[in-house]
Amino acid sequence: MRFVHDIPHPQFRIGLYAWNGKYIVKIDAGPYEQTYKISEMDIAGGTDDVQAMLDEPFLAAVAARFQAMDRDWQETGDRNEVL
C-alpha cells in the first residue's frame, strides 16, 4: 500500500493511500478506525475528487459512527465484565 498524503482535519487523522487499483481512505479517531475503498476507475478526478467527497455531511456521519463504535465497545465490555 502506497501512502499518498494526509488530509488535514481538526477531529480525525485522515490518510489517503493507493493500492491495487483503489484509493483507500483511513480515518482514525482514538482507538477506532474507519476505512473506505474506492476504485480508481470510479474517480475521474483522482485524489482531488476523493478529497472532495470528504465533505461536512460525510464527516458528520463518520463522527456519529465513531460514537456508535465506542458505545458498542463499552457495552460489550460491561456485559462481559471486561472493561
Average pLDDT over residues 46-68: 97
Average pLDDT over residues 6-32: 97
Provide the pLDDT confidence category of residue 33 given band limits of 50, 70 and 90.
Answer: very high
Structural domain count, the chain:
1
Domain that holds residue 43: 2-79
Chain segment 67-83, per-residue pLDDT in tens: 999 999 999 999 999 97
SS (H, E, C) the chain: CEEEEEECCCCCEEEEEEECCEEEEEEEECCEEEEEEEEHHHCCCCHHHHHHHCCHHHHHHHHHHHHHHHHHHHHHHHHCCCC
Q: Please choose, from the candidates 35, 40, 8, 9, the residue with its C-alpha nearest in 3D space to the C-alpha of residue 23.
A: 40
Q: Is pTM beyond 0.85 here?
A: yes
Q: What is the mean pLDDT of the chain?
A: 96
Provide the pLDDT confidence category of residue 51 given band limits of 50, 70 and 90.
Answer: very high
